[in-house]
Amino acid sequence: MKKFCGKGVYGAIAIGRVSVFSRQGTNITQQKAEDPEQELKRLAAAKALASAQLAEIYEKACSEVGEENAQIFEIHMMMLEDEDHSERIETLIRTEQATAEYAVLTAGNEFSEMFASMDDDYMQARAADVKDISNRLISCLTGSSETGDAGSDMHILCADDLAPSETVSLDKSLVVAFVTAFGSSNSHTAILARNMDIPAVIGAGEEFLSAVKDGDMLIVDGHTGDLILDPDTETEQFYRARQEEDYCRAKSLSELKGRPNITKDGREIRIYANIGGPDGVDAALENDAGGIGLFRSEFLYLERSDCPTEEQQFDAYKDVLTRMEGRQVIIRTLDIGADKQIDYFGLKHEDNPALGLRAVRLSLTRPELFRTQLRALYRASVYGQLGIMFPMITSVSEVEKCLAACEEVKRELSAEGIAYSDSVEIGIMVETPAAAVISDLLAQIVDFFSIGTNDLTQYTLACDRQDPALEAFADPHHEAVLRLIELTAKNAHAHDTWVGICGELAADTSLTQTFLRMGIDELSVSAPFILPLREAVRSSTAY
């Protein structure tokens, strides 16, 4: 038994087997294989294993997300059997004496390039499927095939850190907890864990990462950040009991479903959910969200080789609006840059990306990109109660440009005879100190504000939120941050603009009373925080 400690970012306990996340392909080199026949045998075994894994995932996905969405795994199985692809791998092994891993990697790159170079968005996106299959085959060829199939069982994912694009491609239905060696509590992994309602410990250190290997037994305590590798029976029993307590707590919270978010002295507020895409809707509804307060549309742009088309975006927005059945859905326009980068945008390197060409700045410098997204949004608006929100606003003129772009799109749609809703609310993120300070001016031209506390804290306190070394300085309870929030709320209400908070701070129940007294109208949090927050609101007073 060995103990490690990191920082718990989402409170729950997980007990399970470790799967170490490795970036396949990075350590595969072009070395000559001794015996091609041996490599072919390894390849055949890996293919059989990969095929079995896919069949299992397909079954699982069918029951979890429905056959329609599970079909991708069936396609993967067929691609795995594809003759040309298989022939190419075998040729590389026979004629170039490549190792099976190198042959799979090379063939995978060739085929995915074929798809990536096609002049069709849909087909370009298939490049990711080919890579996915190559990665699966390679992981079957290397480590994980020896220690059983950690890749297809429920597991605790351990990694150095995870990039947003990597978490998108993870088979999240199999992950019961995340542990990263680095990363801060604002990192994407932490946010993802909260969204998925599973425990996560970050900053566990390099020592931890080098101590764990695939298949090890691990206890993750998301409350305290404790990690117990290879626990003895007594310890395991202790944690199993704790897990049971958590379960009882969850049960008592679920009794709050259907109850209003109302304070003891009668003030009612709205509690909405933050989501990253259509697959977040289930968790939002499951936790009784009053609406979607933040749909991070940038996740539609990740894990692709080109921008999503108007049609693809329209489908995603329509899906969310339809399933929310008339409850408000606030979609934030593209917020790319800083910690979320996209290769195909071809953005030049920035020394300081948090202060760079990101979010609405990118939308305003690339009108076509912006127009496509706004068209998709307005076309989808007839399917529910849409709100459109612009990120990283610093000035009145930026908002005016956004509003002009909306008007132009509406004119276009009218001219084409395409319907859109007249009741779309327009709002902005208040996440720069500039926006908070001029919130009296901004409130006059928009319908709502949503305060992004993560960035507001970063910019107000001049602390890089990605840097764990600064965590001690980046105090989101800092008086300066709270005063900016209060100022924003006061100015909003003076102009009949409603104001919400969608940053991580919204879920901080030690501040719920403070926010209620400031007059905040809406709090938008990751789905698992909705009910705890409802509980906090119901035991607070607003006046």
Write the interaction track for another protein spanning residues 306-335; mark x where CB under 8 A is met and - where it is not: -----x------------------------
- Least Cβ distance, residue 308 to another protein (angstroms): 13
Of how many residues is the chain composed?
Answer: 543
- Nearer residue to another protein within complex by CB, 55 or 396: 55
d(CA 505, CA 489): 15
Instruction: Confirm whether 349 is a catalytic residue.
Output: no
Single out the catalytic residue among 140, 307, 402, 502. Answer: 502
Tokens of 120: 């069709």
Specify whether the backbone of 450 is left (phi greater than 0), alpha (psi in -120 to 50) or beta: beta
Residues 54-113 that bind another protein (CB under 8 A): 71-72, 74-75, 78-79, 81-85, 111
- Nearer residue to another protein within complex by CB, 85 or 358: 85
- Nearer residue to another protein within complex by CB, 30 or 69: 69
- Least Cβ distance, residue 109 to another protein (angstroms): 13
- Nearer residue to another protein within complex by CB, 71 or 224: 71
Element containing residue 4 per DSSP (H, E): strand 2-5
- Nearer residue to another protein within complex by CB, 111 or 370: 111
- Nearer residue to another protein within complex by CB, 107 or 499: 107
Question: CA neighbours within 13 Å on the CB side: how many for 416?
Answer: 12
- Least Cβ distance, residue 24 to another protein (angstroms): 20
In degrees, rounded to 5, the angle at the alpha carbon of residue 41 between the alpha carbons of residues 37 and 46 is 145
Single out the catalytic residue among 188, 307, 402, 406. Answer: 188
Tokens of 373: 């997204």
Other CB atoms within 10 Å distance of the CB of residue 396: 14
Write the interaction track for another protein spanning residues 114-143; mark x where CB under 8 A is met and - where it is not: xx--xxx-xx--x--xx-------------
**SS3 track for 475-524:** CCCCHHHHHHHHHHHHHHHHCCCEEEECCHHHHCCCCHHHHHHHCCCEEE
- Nearer residue to another protein within complex by CB, 312 or 341: 312
On whether the CB atoms of residues 501 and 451 are closer than 8 A, the answer is yes
d(CA 392, CA 398): 10
Instruction: Report the candidate in 290, 386, 281 with the shortest Cα–Cα distance to residue 333.
Output: 386
DSSP designation for 528: G
How distant, in Å, are the alpha carbons of 14, 57, 188, 212 from that of 154? Answer: 11, 11, 21, 17
Contacts of 38 (CB under 8 A, 6+ apart): none
Instruction: Confirm whether 140 is a catalytic residue.
Output: no
Q: Given the rule CB under 8 A, which residues bind another protein?
A: 71-72, 74-75, 78-79, 81-85, 111, 114-115, 118-120, 122-123, 126, 129-130, 311
Catalytic residues: 188, 502
